[in-house]
Amino acid sequence: MHIDARKLEDDSIIEGDVCIIGAGTAGISIALEWIDSKKKVILLEGGGFEYDKDVQSLYSGETTGQKYYPLQSTRLHYFGGTTGHWAGMCSPYDPIDFQERDWVPHSGWPISREALDPFYSRAHRTLELGPYNYDFESWKAKIPGLIPFPVDENVVWNKLWQFSEARFNSLYAETIINSKSVHLYTYANVVDILGNENLTKIHEVVAKNHSGKTCKIRAKQFILACGAIQNARLLLASRTQTSQGLGNDNDLVGRYFMEHLEHASAELWLFKPFPTKLYTWSSDTEVRAELAITEKSQRENQILNGTVSLFPLTLGRSLKSEMDLWNNEDPRKSAENFWNDIADARAAAEKITEGSISRAFTLHTRIEQAPNPNSRVTLLSEKDELGVPKTKLNWELTALDKRSIRRIYQLLGRQMGLSNLGRVRLNEFLRDEDDTAWPDDLNAGWHHMGTTRMSDTPKKGVVDPNCQVHGISNLYVAGSGCYTTSGAPNPTLTLVALSLRLSDYIKEKV
């Protein structure tokens, strides 16, 4: 069922069993689990089914610290969320990502990778991926041409990726609209969350839209699924009953914001061509690998988890920085800049077909960011058009982040030397061992994580291992905001898995 909240009577009251706030990847993944339920699920989406600049502008804010993309441009604010233009890259987090590592401050999830495995498998169906199988040897046996570099498996392993083409808007809109259980309200932007006197239980949320309509939604269970930045913003902005915001007794909401550092970091020059389909994009293979550092080597070198992808240097040298290209508040225009640059670089690369550079590759880092309490989302005094304080993001990196990137390439450089495949050249920003500064054009993956981190105790995080906000019995957070550490892979597969796990948990409660 679909209702446009702009057409409701002002001050309407909507009641249901479960209220999901946000119809992006996490929210829709959960809603789909309730399609045939006898319970009434209210799914609130701030936008409609298409891009709306007024709705999108509600994401605007300011950034400080390490240069970041315009906040308004980093998420899509309509049904389906950022799956509207995502790259579809999926790979599970590694077991070490969930573990406490004494060289990574604030690391250690209260759940293990094994706890998520069954949900990863289900998430594959939601995202229309292939089998939940990331074992290199079995894929190698299945697909010809997946030839790995002959490097030491104790140091470097081949981490596989699968690719989803799921756009949740076109893929699931009809299913949701036709459901009798799920009541989708578009143009319903939640602006406040209200609870009982002691704030141990939520009673209702208040939603508004640009048509001037307000409605209140009452439910037994509430799930925040607006994305890591907006979830934190909404908790902090819900100050009607508590000045510090909901779930923020320990001043942790919004802290530990993490991104994936995704940056061209080095070059690999091969002595001879190495024909393989394993490491580069190819439309005729279901999987691709990135060179990853083993758990053993991470421990020995006290570094973060990260991977390295390859693409032709002839292309890489022509590409501009994404941080410079993705500079427009309008995500559509930023995306256009981005794709135009790739097209230009490809055209330039096609002209270079000879010489040793034709055997050379840009080595592109994809690495977790160390959890840092000073990397955080707070509120500005300025408010958006619906009266919610705007977001301020201070993105702050640490010396461990940079040392880890440098060390990854030193390890890889040694492996290339040992195998005599070729030589690795560090990019300028990694050459000085004592330099902890970051270039202004450092790229990030548009991945927002950690702002409502998961922990066993309220002193260390915002949500418990079931994604319930500590101290509030019926308020949950879905999505990558719950990540305690950010892992190396893109967050979508893991956030869908975590959302399905949350859905199961709530089903037991209602």
Partner 1 sequence: MKRNYFIGLTSLGVAAVAIPSWYYLTKPVYDVSLFFPKTLTSIWDRPTMVFIGQEYLDKYPIENSQRKLIDLLLEGQSPKMNNIDETLALKIEKDYQEKRIVTIDGWLLSRTEARQCALFTLTEIQ
Nearer to partner 1, 215 or 416 (CB): 416
Residue 382: count other Cβ atoms within 10 Å of its Cβ. 11
Distance of closest approach, residue 420 Cβ to partner 1, in angstroms: 7
Please state the closest distance from residue 355 (CB atom) to partner 1, in A: 9
Alpha carbons 183 and 3: distance in angstroms, whole number: 7
For residues 91 and 510, give the distance between their C-alpha atoms in angstroms, rounded to a whole number.
32
Distance CA 272, CA 422 (A): 8
- Cα(first)–Cα(last) distance of the chain, in Å? 21
Beta bridge partners of 161: 288
Select 422 or 450, whichever has its Cβ closest to partner 1. Answer: 422
CB of 427 to partner 1, least distance (A): 7
CA atoms within 13 A on the CB side of 426: 18
Query: Judged by CB, which is closer to partner 1: 198, or 353?
Result: 353
**Strand boundaries in 45-141, DSSP class E:** 61-65, 89-90
When the beta carbons of 75 and 263 are compared against partner 1, the nearer one is: 263
Report yes or no: 202 and 190 within 8 Å, Cβ to Cβ.
no
Stretch (H or E) spanning 194: strand 189-195
Give the count of alpha carbons within 13 A of 151, CB side only: 20
CB closer to partner 1 out of 428 and 508: 428
Smallest distance from the beta carbon of 408 to partner 1, in angstroms?
12
**Helix ranges restricted to H, 351-441:** 399-419
Closest to partner 1 by CB, 27 vs 422, is 422
Least spacing, CB of residue 343 vs partner 1, in Å: 28
Closest distance to partner 1 from the beta carbon of 429 (Å)? 10
What is the number of alpha carbons within 13 Å of residue 230 lying toward its C-beta?
31
- Give the nearest distance from C-beta 488 to partner 1 in angstroms: 22
Contacts of 84 (CB under 8 A, 6+ apart): 76, 78, 167, 168, 169
Separation between Cα atoms, residue 469 and residue 474, nearest integer Å: 8
For the record, the structure tokens of 240 come out as 């009607």
Could you tell me the smallest distance in angstroms from the CB atom of residue 424 to partner 1?
Answer: 5
Closer to partner 1 by CB, 315 or 498: give it.
315
Question: From the centroid of its chain, how far is CA 118?
Answer: 20
The residue with tokens 């290209």 is 325
Which of 196/419 has CB closer to partner 1?
419
CB of 108 to partner 1, least distance (A): 31
CB 214 within 8 A of CB 192: no
> Which residue, 13 or 418, has its beta carbon nearer to partner 1?
418
Q: Which residues bind partner 1 (CB under 8 A)?
A: 266, 269-272, 356, 359-360, 409-410, 413-414, 416-418, 420, 422-428, 430-431
Q: In Å, what is the CA distance from 436 to each residue of 177, 322, 367, 404?
A: 51, 21, 16, 11
Region of 302 on the Ramachandran plot (φ > 0 left; ψ -120 to 50 alpha; else beta)? left
Quote the least distance from Cβ 301 to partner 1, whole Å. Answer: 12
Instruction: Tell me whether residue 360 or residue 493 sits nearer to partner 1 (CB atom).
Output: 360
- Judge whether 36 and 182 are in contact, CB under 8 Å: no
Neighbours of 213 (CB within 10 A): 19
Q: Rounded CA gap, 205 and 46, in Å? A: 13
Nearer to partner 1 among residue 269 and residue 505 (C-beta): 269
The Cα–Cα gap between 142 and 137 comes to: 9
Minimal distance in Å, beta carbon 357 to partner 1? 9
